[in-house]
Every structure is written in structure tokens, then in C-alpha cells.
Amino acid sequence: MEPLNQRSTTPLERVVSQRALQMSNSFTCQICVVALFCGLCIVSLILAILGNFQFAHFSMLNLSFNSDLNTTITHCSFKPKQIERLTDLKSDQDERVSLLYSAWSCVLTEPTTERSKCLWKLGISESNLPNAPHLENCKAKSLLHNRLDTRIVNDSFPPWTSRKGLLNMHPLAVSEGTHPPWIAGSDEENYPLTRKVQRDIWVHQHPSNCSDPNVKFLLADWERLPGFGIGAQIAGMCGLLAIAINEGRVLVTNFYNRADHDGCSGPSRSSWNCYFFAETSVECRQRALELVKIEDALSKGILTTKENYTSKHIWAGPTPRIWGDPWNYLQPTTDINGSLVASHRKMDRRWWRAQAVRYLMRFPTEYTCNLLNEERHAAFGKMAAKMVLKSLIGEWPKVNSPLIFLFGIED
């Protein structure tokens, strides 16, 4: 009798179990099983070796590039010779660009003695310094603007011209066809009647004889309240210029708080002409300042000040109509609820403010020109240096010695 805990087997199961036992005892079967396990082990070992080699190779390449081509691994350099040469050329080019940029920075310094010392420290002579395409010759440009903004000896008009070309070679009297030199482009490229309006404003603000009893003046300070920014100050002065033209007066501006600093020295201190050419001639300014001390001038209306007009008259007064309604020819540019409005009551004011601002800022002074040079140099100086160095023929800079600055002698 079989034990209770022993599971009964079928005849088929007993036959299979006996056959499996016989096969396991077979020597051939054992050899096959061992070979199979050995093959699996060899394949695993080969895959592991290949994986470690690829990982190590990738790590070495990554280290060689991330170390700026200067790190060696196990005393081996991975930098190709071409990359070394390109790196040296780039470093040399960057040094030349920085040197030229610094030399141009020296040119911006004043006075001339300080400029020469600055260049001497860099080992560069000013005669060997390439011209900076992004910088203007402020002194020469200021002299030219002064000539174009001043009547000549016989009280005739400045040497403006009615066509493009050298202004100094075509001194023509101001006529209907004469173009103000501060306006670029044709009439079609500007606001309607811009060139005529600019010409007429200049003529109005520069009478031939400021001492003539028939010449009247409007003397006004710029707005100086803390809440008024430069935009509000300019808008207010545009209104005062409109009043002066409507009343046949010469506008003379006086105190300008944004010019009350050490950068604006001498007569330009606290004056608009620290930044831009004055709105009128020196003679008319002196005459207005003389009249302000005379009581009869104020009582007789020869001179008025800003206090003679209300704020509404200054800020929203009538636009000069001596040129008609040129703003009616403007294309509609005001968008209201998706539609362009062809005409509205503020179009004339916008047109006039554009004309007034253009006149008040017609010519920058030498001080403003220098400020613009500094800003352009800070923004575009290195870019300009790269362009100039690419265009130069031969090497720059040449090897100079301090004797150049003492005697002007070059090897």
C-alpha cells in the first residue's frame, strides 16, 4: 500500500521521468549543456569589453573638447594642428580689435595732450591710426553748421543751395527753391511743405536787424516743474513757437534746467544751445535780454514772456495758418476701432509739433556730437574695428617707438 502523502503517477509520467533520467546520465548531453553555458559567458564578456571601450572613448573626446582643446589625457594631445593655428589667429585678431578699439577711445578724449598720452601708452601714433567710420569730426561739423546757420557779412542769407552738391561752392540767396540743409529728401519723403516751412521758420527767427523797433520778441523759460519730462518741455516750447509766429514775434528761449550742469560750460550753461543750435541769432538773444530790463518794453508789447499767456493757449493754442492746411494732405494714420480716420482735430497739432521739433533740433552742437560719438563707439566700436582691420592692406599696427611721439619719426 502506498503512503498517504505520496502523489499517484500515471504510466505516461513514469515513462517520461525514466527517459529524462537516462538522458541526464548521458555524457553527450552533459557536454552540450556545458558548451552552451560557456558560449553564453564568452558572449557576455565580449559585449562588456566593447561597451567599456566605447564609453571610455566617448569620455576622452568629451574631455578634450570641453577643456578648450588644451587638456591632455594620459600625456596625449587631441588637438589637431589646424585647430591650434586657428586658435592662435583668432587670439591675435581679438587683440588687434581690442587695440584699435582702445586707440579710437583715446581719440574721443580731450584735450589733445591727453589724447596723445593715451595713444603713447598703447604704442600707436595718431598718423598711423585708421579712420573710425562710426565717428564724426565734431569740430569740423560744428564749424560747417555754424556757417550754414549764420547770415554772412552783408546781411544776406547763409550759403544754402537749391540742389545737391558742395554747399560752399554754390552760395545762392535763399529763394523759394532753396532747401534747408538740415532736411534730407524731397517733399514727397517728408511731411507736406516741410522744406518750405523750415525755411520760413528760420527766416522768421533770424531777422537781418534785431535792433529794428519793429522786431518784437517772446522771451520764455523752458518748463522746470519736477513733473515735466523732456517730452513735455519740448511740447510746451512748440506751443510758444506757434504763438510767436502767429503774433509776429521772435522766440527767444532762456533758462533750460536740463543744461544746468558742468558739461554745459560758459554761455551754454543752462541754455538750449548747449545741445542744439539756438533758436535765434546771438544778436536777437542779446536784444531780448536788454528789453526785459526795460519796463516800457513790456507795457508797450515789444516784449512778452510766458506769463502773458495761459496754459491752454500754450499747450492747445491755434496752429500757424500762414501755410494753409498742409496736414489735410496726409494719409490717414489714426486707427479707431479698426478704421483709419482721415481727418481729426489733432492732425494740425501733430503736424506743427513735428515742424517745430525739427527746427529746434536742426543742428546738434559739438558737445552733443561728442556725446553721440561716445554712445556709437560703445555700441558699434568693436564691430567697426573688425570691419576696418579686414579692409586694411598690410599689417596693423606697425611697430612704433616712443620717439615717434617726440619727433614724429617712423622707421
Residue-level pLDDT at 27: 53
CA distance 411 to 409: 7
Residue-level pLDDT at 309: 97
Sign of CA dihedral 353, 355, 356, 360: positive
Q: What is the mean pLDDT of each run of 10 residues along the chain (411 residues)?
A: 48 54 55 66 68 50 48 47 55 85 89 86 88 94 94 78 48 57 88 94 95 96 92 96 97 96 93 97 95 92 95 93 89 79 82 97 96 96 93 75 44 39
Residue 311 grid coordinates? 496754459
Nearest CA to 194 out of 356, 341, 407 is that of 356
Using a cut of 0.85, tell me whether the model's pTM lies above it: no
Cα Rg of the chain, angstroms: 43
CA distance 23 to 5: 29
Residue-level pLDDT at 4: 44
